[in-house]
Structure 1
Amino acid sequence: MESAIRLAISVGGSALAALAVCRVADLLARFADARHPETPLWGLLRRCRTPLYVVVMAALLRWTYPMASPDRGPLVEHAEAVSRFLLLCLIGGGAWLTVRTVAAVVESSYARYAGRSRDAARLRRVRTQVTLIMRVVSVGVGVIAAAAALVTFPSFRTLGTSLLASAGIIGIVAGVAAQSTLSNLFAGFQIAFGDMVRIGDTVVVDGEWGVVEEVTLTFLTVRTWDERRVTLPVSYFTSRPFENWSRGGAEMTGAVFVHCDHTTPVALARKHLEEFLGTCATWDGRAWDLAVTDTSPTGITVRAIVTAKDADDLWTTRCAVREELVGWLAREHPGALPKVVTAPAADAAQEEPLRSRREHGLADRAAP
C-alpha cells in the first residue's frame, strides 16, 4: 500500500510539475509574441508544448521514481525496465523538441525574409532550400536519437564494437546496394542549392505541364493543370532535359493560330484584337501582334501573339483570343472562314461536249 501511494505521488507530482513548466513557457511565449508581432517565432514556439511536456515529465519521473521505490517489492524488480523506458521517452521527446524548435526558428526566419523581399523567384528558391534543410535536420536528429536509444541496451553496446570494426566493408556494400537512393539524395541537394527547380515553378515533364508542389531529398511532386500529381525521382531533373517556365521570371508569351480564307480582312482583325485585349483581364499589356504567317491554296494562317504574367493566365488569354477571333469572323465576316470544296467533279461524258464547244469557239475566233 505504501509503495502504491509513493508511486501515485511520484507520477502525479511529476505530471503537475511538468504541466506547470509547460504552462509557464506557453505564457512567456504568448507574452513575447504580443510584444514582438513583427516575428512569428514566439507563436511558432508554442507548438513545442507537447514535446516539452514529454521531456520534463520523463526527466522528473526518472528523478522521483527511485525515491518512490522501497528497498523491496515489485517496484524494485521493475526499476531497471522502468528507468530504461523513461530514458527512451526522454531521448524521443528531446529529438521531437529539437526538431520542433529548429522548425520554428527556420520558418520564422523565412517568414521575415519573405516579408522584406519582393522577388518571387528568389522566395521560391529559399523556400525549396529551407524545406530540404528541415528534412535533413529531421533525418539527422532521428538517426542520432535512434543510435542513442540503441546504446541504452547492453547487447547493442557490445555489438557496436564489431560493427565499427567492419564499418568500411559495410559502407562499401551499402553504397553499392543503395546507389539509386544515394544518387537521388545528392540530386536533391543539387536541386536545392543549384537553383534548377523550385517549389512553385511551372515545369513541363513528359509532355505534361504543372506546378512543382513538393520537393524532398528523394522525389519531387508536380501538380498538373487537371489536379493530378506526378511523382518523379529528383535524379530525373539532373539527368534529363525539362522545361522550366518560371526560370528567370514567370512572364510568358503565347501564340494563337486561326485558319482563314484568302479574303480575310487582316487589318480589321488586327484592330479588333487590339480592342479586345484592352478588355481582357488576363493580358498583362506587355506585347501583342497579329500577322499572316503562312498561306496555302485553300487559305491562310493568321497568328496572334499575346503575353501574360504566368502560365495560367497565358492559357486563359489564348483561349479567350481564339474564341473572340472565331466569333468575330463568324459574325462580321463569314466569308473569311475557311471553305471546303464539296462540289462533285464532272465526269468524262460531261467534259467531252464542253471541250468540243471550247475548241470550236477558238477555231471560229481564229478564222479570218
Structure 2
Amino acid sequence: MTFIKRYIAPVLILLAAFFLPKLVLPYVNDLEKAKLVIEKVSSIMIILAITWAIIVTIKVAKKKYLTKYDISSENNLRARKLYTQFNVLERVIIFIILIIAIGLSLMLFDSVRKFGVSVFASAGIAGIIVGFAAQKAIATILAGMQIAISQPIRLDDVLVVEGEWGWVEEITLTFVVVRIWDKRRLVLPTTYFIEKPFQNWTRTTSEILGTVFIYTDYNVDFDALREELTRLLESTELWDKQVNVLQVTDSKERSVEIRALMSARNSPQAWDLRVYVREGLIKFIQKNYPESLPKTRVSVMNEFDEKTQIKE
C-alpha cells in the first residue's frame, strides 16, 4: 500500500491528465467549453502529480540517506545532528513546494490572474500589514530554521528546561516537543530555544558526569567513604570507568558537604548510577558510622549549674 501511494499514484494521475481529453471530449456537445474545463483540470492534475512525485522523492531520499545512521545507538551525536537537519529542512522544502504548486494552479484561471495583478499593485501596503500581524509566526518559523542550521538542540538531546528533565522528541518549524522523564510532553515554541537559557546535557557528547551530595557530621571517615564509592562503582555496569572522585566541597556549622562525582555513557545511565551510589553511601554510613549522621548539638544548663557558675 505504501509503495502504491508513493510511486504508482503520481503516475496514475499523470496518465489520467493526458488521456482525460481523449476520453471525455467525444461525448460532449459544447466542445469549446468542455475543452477549456478539461485543459484546466488536466493542468491541475499534472501539477499535482509532479508535486506529489517531488515530495515522495525528497522523503525517500532522506529516509535512504539516514538509514546509515542509527539514532538509537549510545554514541549517536552525528546521527542526531543529521536527523534534526533533515527533518526540519524537509518540512521547509515541502512547504515551499506546496505554496508554488498552489500558486501555479491558481494562475491557470484568468480571474485569479487578474486578481493577482491587483494584489501585486498594492503589495507594499499589504506587506506591511501582514508583517505586523504575522511577525510572531514568522519569527517562530525563522527560529525553527535557525535551530536546523545552528543546532542548539537536536533530536534525542537531553535537556533541563523550565525545571524539567527530558529528551527532545520532535522538532518542527514552530515548536519543539520535550519528552519528560515521567512520560509527560513539554511543548515549547522554537523561539524559546533562541531567546532563553536552558541546559543541554548532550550538546557535544552523550557521556555525562553524575553528582551525589551527602551531608554528614564532622567526625566521618572520608577515606572509608572513598573506598566505598570505588567499591560501589566497580560493582555496577552503569559506570564507564572514567571518573571516580569524592571531595569535601563545603563545611557548615552543623555538617560537612561531600560530593561524589562519577561518569556514565549517557544521561539515563548517569541518573540510575547517581541513585545507586546515593543509596549505597547512605547505607554504608548508617551501618558503619551511625554517629556521623548529621546531628544538632544543644548544650543545656540547669539552674543549679548557672548559680554555681555565678558564684565561681
Pick the TM interval, shorter chain: 0.7 to 0.9
TM-score (norm 1): 0.74
Aligned CA RMSD, in angstroms, stands at 3.1
SS at match of 1:203: strand
Deviation at 1:71, TM superposition (A): 5.4
1:70 alignment partner, one of 27, 40, 64 = 27
The separation in 1 between residues aligned to 2:254 and 2:158, in whole angstroms, is 38
| Deviation string, structure 1 residues 78-111 (Cα, Å, up to 9, x no partner) | 6655554454344333322220111111222233
Q: Which residue of 2 aligns with 1:186?
A: 142
The separation in 2 between residues aligned to 1:111 and 1:147, in whole angstroms, is 34
Contact preservation (8 Å) 1:292, 1:301: yes
1:157 alignment partner, one of 110, 113, 126 = 113
Q: Which residue of 2 aligns with 1:262?
A: 218
Contact preservation (8 Å) 2:81, 2:155: yes
TM-score (norm 2): 0.86
Deviation at 1:45, TM superposition (A): 7.0
More relative contact order in 1 or in 2 (CA 8 Å, sep 6+)?
A: 2
Q: Which residue of 2 aligns with 1:243?
A: 199
Larger C-alpha radius of gyration, 1 or 2?
A: 1
- 2:44 maps to amino acid: L
2:241 alignment partner, one of 285, 292, 296 = 285
Q: Which has the higher helix share?
A: 1
| Deviation string, structure 1 residues 169-206 (Cα, Å, up to 9, x no partner) | 32232222211122222222221111322112112222
Question: CA 1:240–1:296 in 2, change beyond 3 Å: closer, same or farther?
Answer: closer
1:354 alignment partner, one of 285, 296, 305 = 305
Question: CA 1:157–1:65 in 2, change beyond 3 Å: closer, same or farther?
Answer: farther
2:92 alignment partner, one of 122, 133, 136 = 136
| Deviation string, structure 1 residues 128-169 (Cα, Å, up to 9, x no partner) | 111121111110111111112212333212212212222333
Question: CA 1:124–1:179 in 2, change beyond 3 Å: closer, same or farther?
Answer: same
- Is 1:173–2:124 an aligned residue pair? no
- Is 1:273–2:224 an aligned residue pair? no
- 2:244 maps to amino acid: W
Deviation at 1:114, TM superposition (A): 6.2
Structure 2: stretches of 5+ with no match in the other structure: none
State, as a whole percentage, how many aligned pairs show the same letter: 31
| Deviation string, structure 1 residues 53-79 (Cα, Å, up to 9, x no partner) | 442343244243235x33538x99866
The separation in 2 between residues aligned to 1:113 and 1:262, in whole angstroms, is 52
Q: Which residue of 2 aligns with 1:33?
A: none
- 2:50 maps to amino acid: G
Q: Which residue of 1 aligns with 2:269?
A: 313
Question: CA 1:291–1:94 in 2, change beyond 3 Å: closer, same or farther?
Answer: same
The separation in 1 between residues aligned to 2:70 and 2:308, in whole angstroms, is 86
The separation in 1 between residues aligned to 2:246 and 2:110, in whole angstroms, is 80
Question: CA 1:45–1:167 in 2, change beyond 3 Å: closer, same or farther?
Answer: farther
